[in-house]
Homo-oligomer: A and B are copies of this chain.
Amino acid sequence: MSSDRLIYLPLGGAGEIGMNAYVYGWGKPGKERLILVDLGVTFPDMDTSPGVNLIMPDMTWLEDNAERLEAIFITHAHEDHVGAVGRLAHRLNAPIYARPFTAYHAKRKLEEAGQSPNDVTVVQPYPDVIDAGPFKVSFLPLSHSIPESSGLVIDTPAGRLVHTGDFKLDETPVLGDAFDPALWAEIAKPRIKALICDSTNVFSTKPGRSEAEVGPELVKLLQNQPGMVAATTFASNVARVKQLAEAGVAAGRSVCLLGRSMRRMIQAGVESGVLSSGFPATIPPEDARDVPRENLMLIVTGSQGERRAASAQLSRGKYLGLSMAEGDTFLFSSKTIPGNERGVIRIMNAYSEMGVDIVAEDDKYHVSGHANRPDIERVHKILNPEIVIPMHGEHRHLREHARLATAGGRASMVVINGAMCDLTGVAPHVVEHVEADRIYLDGDILIGALDGVVRDRIRLALNGHVIVNVIVEGNEPLGEPWVEIMGLPETGKSRASLVEVLEEDLGQFLMRAADKTLRDDDKLGEELKRIARKSSQDELGRRPEVTVVVSRLE
């Protein structure tokens, strides 16, 4: 009989930045009792997932093993950690634990998905402990770009694990939990078996900077602006939003928050106690309209160029009765996430056309929420784990992080989504691979990323669509074939209508077609498709998607 083992199985977040979902287990192989850390989403893009609303980890493996799942822990309220709770948590049928600010968001997600928010238990951080089967779990307060971000101290029969969640080492985070070296040292006292650690900024070679460095720069900037100032940042960065608002007030400006998530985050901060130190008074948009521009500051959503967010709306004209104008200033207190450049630049140019000045100096008005390489090394040293497993990163981040750990004399390996890693012994090793694909929220429906639905939409976008319609009675075509096109030029090389050329070519074929072909729907469809593609190729130089509808009158 095999002995108990400690396993780690990322189902999302290991090999990408997004949709975090990490499973830990203890017990006999195949019978481990499990916990899940985080249940996040990632966002679609036009290149790979047009029309998709959200992307989530495929939890089929965990759903199939739901009776073994003891609990779900959510480290913080970023969408890539909590975003899938509404859609997926109820299938797992386990209690959800989170600290107040995070719990506020988890509950809202459940409510919006029509699920009960009562599954969420609000907990206090270390030294409080949650018992979850063979695991004892504590929330370790740490700093990040959202309030109440937490690592997890997970005591297992094989030793202590630390799962960092997203973190930075900030001793002056403005809001929420400061990095507390003494606390970390205390946690490290029992030997740490394994550190599962954020890898996002492993390529950033300088030590990370504190949130507190941003405030004075904002105050300085705000002092010298002649017109209205609008600033954007992630709404969830409540410390930043607070510093922006305070800088506005210090410059004698009324502050107005624009964008649903901006207002929701501040409300969550107030209700959860995170903002117990207060937040400057704000005015609603309808009052803001009457404030002289030089006395007004907007804090708006949409730092990543999202088309529907307030920053994009304002760049296109009036939004809630407010608009930017020549002499105003727009501040990006944010960094553009790779892949979002086009959207951000579109907004910058729209403001430039209005005569609005853009301020977008990453290093001055923004600091990252993730630990840089020297910070990661410092954590390795403080916690001194036997094993380091990099997580929260693309493959290149994980690999670099593993090299860093190995260079520091620790066992380490890259463990990607779907790889079940045995942490019991001295060296981690992968014991099994499980399916860990992606699922799409498409409209209101969940579909598999590999179902072909989205692949077909990409093909339609790249190739256009030809619809061929023929009516057959017995083995006789009834009338002419009928063609409709969508997403294709109306005329091709012959200068004749593409539809007419296709109808002519298909009609010629039908006249000559053998009775056998005309009686066989599949064969007839295939032939018509082939001809439509070939004629399109001749006319347009491209082969469209073709749908053939054969209507049979019998």
Q: Is the CB of A541 within 8 A of B454?
A: no
Knowing A349-B394, A396-B358, say if A542 contacts B443 (CB, 8 Å).
yes
- CB A483 to nearest CB in B, in angstroms, measures 9
Pick the residue among B341, B349, B478 that contacts A395 (CB under 8 A): B349
Q: Is A540 an interface residue (CB 8 A)?
A: yes
Task: Determine which residue in A358, A445, A484 has the highest number of CB atoms from chain B within 10 A of its CB, and name it.
Answer: A445
CA distance A487 to B442 in the complex (A): 11
Which chain B residues border A50 with CB–CB below 8 Å? 46, 458, 461-462
Q: Is the CB of A457 within 8 A of B461?
A: yes
1/0 per residue A326-358: CB within 8 Å of B?
000000000000110110010011011100001
Q: Is the CB of B445 within 8 A of A493?
A: yes
- CB A217 to nearest CB in B, in angstroms, measures 17
CA distance A542 to B482 in the complex (A): 28
From A31-39, A54-62, A543-551, give the one contacting chain B. A543-551
- CB A38 to nearest CB in B, in angstroms, measures 21
Q: Which residues of A in the span 497-541 have a Cβ within 8 Å of any Cβ on B? A: 540-541
Q: Which residue of B lies closest to A442 (CB)?
A: B489
Report the copy number of this chain in the oligomer: 2
- Known pairs A457-B461, A467-B549, A484-B547 / 7 extra A-B pairs, C-beta < 8 Å: A338-B341, A345-B394, A443-B542, A445-B540, A453-B464, A460-B461, A469-B469
Pick the residue among B394, B443, B463 that contacts A51 (CB under 8 A): B463
Which chain B residues border A463 with CB–CB below 8 Å? 51
Which chain B residues border A453 with CB–CB below 8 Å? 464, 487-490
1/0 per residue A448-471: CB within 8 Å of B?
000101101111111111010101
Q: Which residue of B lies closest to A469 (CB)?
A: B549
Which chain B residues border A51 with CB–CB below 8 Å? 461-464, 487, 542
Contact count band on A: 35 or more
CA distance A458 to B444 in the complex (A): 20
CA distance A543 to B486 in the complex (A): 16
Q: Is A479 an interface residue (CB 8 A)?
A: yes
Q: Is A399 an interface residue (CB 8 A)?
A: yes
Q: Is the CB of A547 within 8 A of B486?
A: yes
Q: Is A286 an interface residue (CB 8 A)?
A: no
Q: Is the CB of B540 within 8 A of A46?
A: no
Which chain B residues border A1 with CB–CB below 8 Å? none
Q: Is A45 an interface residue (CB 8 A)?
A: yes
Q: Is A95 an interface residue (CB 8 A)?
A: no
Q: Which residues does A use to contact B, with CB under 8 Å?
A: 15, 45-47, 50-51, 338-339, 341-342, 345, 348-349, 351-353, 358, 394-396, 399, 442-445, 447, 451, 453-454, 456-465, 467, 469, 471, 478-479, 482, 484, 486-493, 540-542, 545, 547, 549, 551, 553
Q: Which residue of B lies closest to A483 (CB)?
A: B549
- CB A336 to nearest CB in B, in angstroms, measures 9
Knowing A445-B493, A465-B465, A540-B442, say if A553 contacts B478 (CB, 8 Å).
yes
Q: Is the CB of B469 within 8 A of A551?
A: yes
Which chain B residues border A469 with CB–CB below 8 Å? 469, 549, 551
Which chain B residues border A45 with CB–CB below 8 Å? 342
Q: Which residue of B lies closest to A464 (CB)?
A: B457
Q: Is the CB of A486 within 8 A of B471?
A: no
Q: Which residue of B lies closest to A468 (CB)?
A: B549
Which chain B residues border A542 with CB–CB below 8 Å? 51, 442-444
Across the A-B interface, the 7 shortest Cβ-Cβ residue pairs: A444-B541, A443-B542, A461-B461, A443-B541, A457-B487, A460-B460, A50-B461
Q: Is the CB of B342 within 8 A of A467?
A: no
Which chain B residues border A479 with CB–CB below 8 Å? 551, 553
- CB A324 to nearest CB in B, in angstroms, measures 14
CA distance A467 to B310 in the complex (A): 36
- CB A510 to nearest CB in B, in angstroms, measures 14
- CB A164 to nearest CB in B, in angstroms, measures 21
CA distance A467 to B464 in the complex (A): 14
CA distance A431 to B478 in the complex (A): 61
Knowing A461-B46, A486-B547, say if A396 contacts B349 (CB, 8 Å).
yes
